[in-house]
Chain A
């Protein structure tokens, strides 16, 4: 089973989680752990450019992070989602619920 890697960097006020690999029922726990650590506590960006597949488990993690951030008044962005990640987000029918920027350079200051 191909694994997932999540790199954690800082950019201005944001913590950027860069995800590579598939987000599915076997790998989502790692993303969940890191996303929950920062969501709602600081501004957060989740870079999905390197995501090779994404199931509903991944959508659930990101939605929970967005709701945590909204409740705490913090900012959160999805960065440059890969084609499969974008399709997974669009399949919800509520792509607008996922604030998205094309690259980390476009994160609002």
Chain B
């Protein structure tokens, strides 16, 4: 009976796939797929239940098994219907009516007459069925309809211009063929030759087709053949080294009836939980993605090591060389935001050429996109792009690109990287997409450099190397919305001990009375830390535009650090939200060591930061995050500091510590925010004899009480 459990499991998977939301946007094709998947699931359930009941309730079993056969044929009819129009989602009502009539006829003949199946009986594993006179006819007809779908999918795929659609149709065609072959062998051929034991898993046949179509629907990128081979090799390794020995062991247990099916399932599940991850890591390390990741890290390192001091032309020339080597692009081009807000081509060529005017539909479209990496195949085949498909394709065609990467900062597009067709003639595939994702952060820095720093006239006036990079950092640090409001005065300092560092302060105006702010420190030192800071600041601004939920904003920032910044990068800081209209500040402590609240009424200074969880340590940070609210009565204030001040040490190895910080804040209780920041810095410098070793970021805000802001 254990085998029927697998069939029920397959039915559950098919129902789950049918009800997924991700296939939205394909209209009638989605409905047809859902119908086919649900019919396949119903077939599996009827088959398994009918087989199960054939021992004691033969009449019910016959009815169920007849329904199973009718549903199997109906599911192939649904797949055939899909083959007629996919991927263009057309309505063909006369055909639909004809197919519904055909399904009705099939149900009538198979379920309500005995022409297909007359009787069944099962004793233990011995399963006997008395076939009706039209059993073979319906079996062959069902398979023939499925084969017709296979042929139509295959034939329609060949003339398609879009390679990704062609690939989708081939995948569907192959999976339906697999389903038919499997179903025929397990449910028809073997029982007719006296081998009935595995008959109940005949219901799994639909799963093969449903999995194939489900994959094809969601696949908008071409296979990368070496990746497919590596994936197959790693799966085979898991099969041979892990799954097969486990299956053999369980088989022996079953053979000697030492175990109940449920126990076998439990042992299987426990084995996968205990050893599955190990087996996957083992296989991936030898055949799979671990090797690809090494290659991605190499290209990241190549971009990170570009010498920005050599000038725009040289930097972009070298970047083009790296891209040509890695992706096999026939050409590579860079667009940068111009002063008017449009996009101009800055590479190749010495003269900037306007590609898109600020008010052009292309600019409006690409600024509204949520994705930053766009393959032409995605635009063609992914329903997510349906709304912008025409404009996007026009833009892509106008620049003759096959892939584009958008470097964005909030609503602005800082730069665009264009990749020409591959020299091999192939399209950009899923592996290329992953590599684009991996290098996105580094490309953003290059885009920012091109937009803000790499003006030829600047090259003569700034220092080389670190001076240039420092320009980027300073430019980013100065790019904030200062908190200016009659109710408050606020001030901050970001100071790196080595000119470059990961210290980060940003404030973004949300409304007349509300500001978002972030204070913190990105780990690491020097150029790497400052580049991570630049990327992170930009990403937080971008996420702030997309994400309304405070906790999710921080959680997504954490995910970005894990996925896109170098290994070992973390962020210790605080995310805050000042609501002056409510006289409150909301904050999420992510490892900031000091938030001091100065209470006007009690004339005391209280430490309020609580425990914090830094970003970059775990993939899912959301469960650890908790927003805190602090009322700001008139005369109160906040001082927030990273560890640079508190952990500063003097020549005797003594720490500056929180006590001294509190004392300085207390001594300056009537002072303005800028004076408080200056006083703390002066005190720390005096303590360390002007030898502060760590980056310093501090933010002070004094609340004067609610006052109307003059327009």
Contact = CB atoms under 8 A, between A and B. Distances in A.
A53 B541 CA distance: 34
A72 B290 contact: yes
Contacts of B617: 63, 92-94, 97
A4 interface: no
Contacts of B611: 93
A82 to B, nearest CB: 14
B618 to A, nearest CB: 6
Contacts of A94: 613-614, 617-618
User: Which secondary structure characterizes the binding site on chain B?
Assistant: loop
Contacts of A76: none
A48 interface: no
B378 interface: no
B614 A55 contact: no
User: Which secondary structure characterizes the binding site on chain A?
Assistant: helix
Interface stretch (B7-15, B137-145, B564-572): B564-572
Interface in A59-73: 59-65, 67-68, 71-73
17 contacts: A24-B693, A52-B653, A56-B643, A57-B524, A59-B523, A60-B524, A63-B567, A63-B570, A63-B616, A64-B566, A64-B568, A64-B569, A91-B614, A92-B591, A92-B613, A93-B611, A93-B614
Contacts of A63: 523, 567-568, 570, 616-617
Given A25-B694, A63-B616, 6 more contacts: A56-B570, A60-B570, A63-B617, A73-B282, A91-B572, A91-B593
Interface in A70-109: 71-73, 91-94, 97
Contacts of B568: 60-65, 67
Interface string A20-35: 0000111010000000
Nearest to B572: A56
A84 B649 CA distance: 13
A92 to B, nearest CB: 5
A83 to B, nearest CB: 13
B693 A71 contact: no
B471 interface: no
Interface in A1-33: 24-26, 28
A92 B573 CA distance: 11
A20 to B, nearest CB: 15
Interface string B641-656: 0010001010001000
B169 to A, nearest CB: 37
Interface of A: 24-26, 28, 52-53, 55-57, 59-65, 67-68, 71-73, 91-94, 97
B591 A93 contact: yes
A98 to B, nearest CB: 9
A68 B290 CA distance: 11
Contacts of B591: 91-93
B360 to A, nearest CB: 43
A71 B612 contact: no
Given A53-B649, A56-B521, A73-B282, A26 B693 contact: yes
B498 A73 contact: no
Contacts of A26: 693
Interface in B619-656: 624, 643, 647, 649, 653
A56 B572 CA distance: 9
Nearest to B562: A67
Given A57-B523, A57-B525, A60-B570, A72 B285 contact: yes
Interface string B315-337: 00000000000000000000000
B523 A56 contact: yes
Contacts of B624: 93
Interface string B573-595: 00000000000000000010100
Contacts of A92: 570, 572, 591, 613-614, 617
Contacts of A71: 290, 293
A40 B613 CA distance: 26
A21 to B, nearest CB: 12
B369 to A, nearest CB: 31
A72 B294 CA distance: 11
Nearest to B293: A71
Interface string B271-301: 0000000100110010000100100000000
B171 to A, nearest CB: 30
Contacts of B653: 52
Nearest to B502: A56
A67 B567 CA distance: 7
A44 to B, nearest CB: 14
Contact of A25 (B567, B593, B693): B693
A6 to B, nearest CB: 17
B634 to A, nearest CB: 34
Nearest to A62: B568
B282 A59 contact: no
A68 B569 CA distance: 12
A57 B643 CA distance: 12
Contacts of B192: none
B497 interface: yes
B498 A25 contact: yes
Contacts of A55: 643, 647, 693-694
A25 B695 CA distance: 9
Contacts of A57: 523-525
A93 B616 CA distance: 11
Contacts of B281: 73
A57 B644 CA distance: 12
A38 to B, nearest CB: 15
Contacts of B282: 73
